[in-house]
Amino acid sequence: MPLSPASLAAYISAYIQSYRAAHSRLTAAPPQGSGYPDLVVSPYLAPSHFECFLALDGVAVMVSGNEPPYSWWLAGGPALMVDLPESQTPPEVTQLLSNSGLLGKPIGIYRIVTKAPLAPDTVYGRFDELTTAVQVSVLDSTVTVRSGTISLSTLLERLTFGAFGPILDIHLPSADSDFWRPHIIRNLGFMTADRRNRRFLNYLEIMPHVDDAAWDQRSIPTRVGSDLRRDFGISFAGSRSGGILSFGGPADWNPPFMDRLASLGVTIAAFERLLRTQPGAPESTYQDFLAQHPILLDVYGEPIPKPRFIFPDGPTPLGKAYVEPDFVIRYPGNAYRLIELERPTKGIATQAGHPKAEMTQSAFQIAEWRQFIARHYSELKERFPGISAKHPATVVISRTTERSYPSESDLQQYKDLLLHHYENIDVLTYDDLLVRAKEAHARLAAIGVPGPLGA
């Protein structure tokens, strides 16, 4: 029996709820959960509008509209630009790129050329054969199903203005292919060279099945386990700021995932050796090591070193032209963490238990960064969309072996006290970084092992 719009809407709604429940269990702290980071690794975790296209021979689930906060179709992308042999790029765009010093340089937009003229419906990205059949609400999201007499390949051709199909063969799977091995496109724009037609796809999931077996809700828990493994793997292994195309099964993300996991293991061993053999090394030794291997600051985020926040109105009353965090960690879903590094030999507290001057100074610097973010977000929104003064911060300072405390548990209690004293600022020692990296490595290694994730 062919898949109906109502059945597809019911399946997607049930899938969203099951995916979120499984993600909550996976990210809960032990023993209730597996302790994975609470990252937005899929649009199924965030408030979204899911546009589901039910074609004659397949289904596409799309989330769009959350475009980058810059003119991505001019420069920056990431995007595929459909063009003719004689380029249709407007002269004013070429001139703008030239004036900006970007002409002829990589700008994140990849020109692809059609060998034959494209149909008007493809050029304009129209699919009038599809009409809205069902719209439902689920949790904080909506699901719309559009159906009609159009093939999956034609739908994709029009969604991408001819990029998929006429120009690029993405090897669509057939109806005989395995279930739960969709093609997925993440954070990639498509446009025509004249810039008149464009579409930014935050997420596009392509499945070639319309039979009941593929959409039986009883299979959802098993499918969710497989999809969570894939999504965490892609989040760790994939590009942090570019678009991602994943075709089919785990073969696409597993090799780069394992390569990055092996690299993390080597880095952890080198950092452990540094802590063991050079405990009294100067500040620059540790800071240089972390600058070269920022993955140790947060395995799951994208560390951005030394971003300079320049005051738009000139120097402040304190004489500062800019403030500069040591690192800003960016996570999926536009979440951030500010990082301040201090020398490992600096202590956290005095013998009387009060924060040392170094700790107070670090907290003051973080307050300066947060004040800049609150007052001058417009200066940061293109590079750090969604950043706010409410995002957490971390000070990395001292060693777990600090002599002010007789045991690690005493030191941990004091760090917990500091978290309450300094709003939303946690304190890590350099040894804590090592322990956290080892724990993350062990959890990530489980992703590459067959079986239920987090079992």
Distance (Å, whole) CA 454 – CA 368 = 40
Domain contains 323: yes
Mean model confidence pLDDT for the chain: 86
Domain contains 449: no
Domain CATH number, residue 362 = 3.40.91
Q: Are residues 241 and 295 in the same domain?
A: no
CA angle 99, 101, 106 (to 5 degrees): 130
Domain contains 450: no
Give the mean pLDDT of 195-206.
Answer: 97
Q: Using only C-alpha atoms, what is the Rg of the chain?
A: 25
Q: Are residues 241 and 262 in the same domain?
A: no
Q: Are residues 231 and 285 in the same domain?
A: no
Domain contains 454: no
Distance (Å, whole) CA 444 – CA 447 = 5
Q: Are residues 234 and 269 in the same domain?
A: no
| 177 token code pair | 């292919």
Max mean pLDDT among 94-108, 244-258, 290-304, 401-415 falls in 94-108
Q: Which of 210, 228, 249 delimits the end of a domain?
A: 249
Q: Are residues 237 and 291 in the same domain?
A: no
Structural domain range at position 371: 257-444
Max mean pLDDT among 290-294, 309-313, 410-414 falls in 309-313
On the question of pLDDT at 442 being above 50, the answer is yes
Give the mean pLDDT of 1-25.
Answer: 95
Q: Are residues 194 and 230 in the same domain?
A: yes
Q: Which of 249, 269, 296 delimits the end of a domain?
A: 249
Max mean pLDDT among 47-61, 272-286, 357-371 falls in 47-61
Domain contains 453: no
Give the mean pLDDT of 370-382.
Answer: 93
| 396 token code pair | 């990395």
Domain contains 186: yes
Q: What is the pLDDT of residues 145-177, one digit of tens each?
A: 999 999 999 999 999 999 999 999 999 989 999
On the question of pLDDT at 350 being above 80, the answer is no
- Return the closest-CA partner of residue 74 out of 95, 58, 56, 49: 95
Q: For residue 252, what pLDDT is reported? A: 59
Per-residue confidence band for 184, with pLDDT thresholds at 50, 70 and 90: very high
Q: For residue 352, what pLDDT is reported? A: 46
Give the mean pLDDT of 336-364.
Answer: 70
Q: What is the pLDDT of residues 446-455, one digit of tens each?
A: 776 555 555 5
Q: Are residues 236 and 87 in the same domain?
A: yes
Q: Which of 190, 225, 249 delimits the end of a domain?
A: 249
Q: Are residues 157 and 270 in the same domain?
A: no
Q: For residue 412, what pLDDT is reported? A: 56
Domain contains 117: yes
Give SS3 for 258.
Answer: helix
Q: Are residues 323 and 179 in the same domain?
A: no
Please tell me the total count of domains within the chain: 2
Give the mean pLDDT of 204-233.
Answer: 93
Residues 6+ apart with CB under 8 A from 447: 229, 232, 233, 236, 257, 453
- pTM for the full model? 0.81
CA dist 435 to 275, 316, 441, Å? 12, 40, 10
Q: Are residues 333 and 219 in the same domain?
A: no
Domain contains 261: yes
Q: Are residues 36 and 10 in the same domain?
A: yes
On the question of pLDDT at 310 being above 90, the answer is yes
Q: Are residues 292 and 240 in the same domain?
A: no
* Residue 215 or 360, more confident: 215
End-to-end CA distance of the chain: 36
* Percentage of the chain exceeding pLDDT 70: 87
On the question of pLDDT at 305 being above 80, the answer is yes
On the question of pLDDT at 249 being above 70, the answer is no
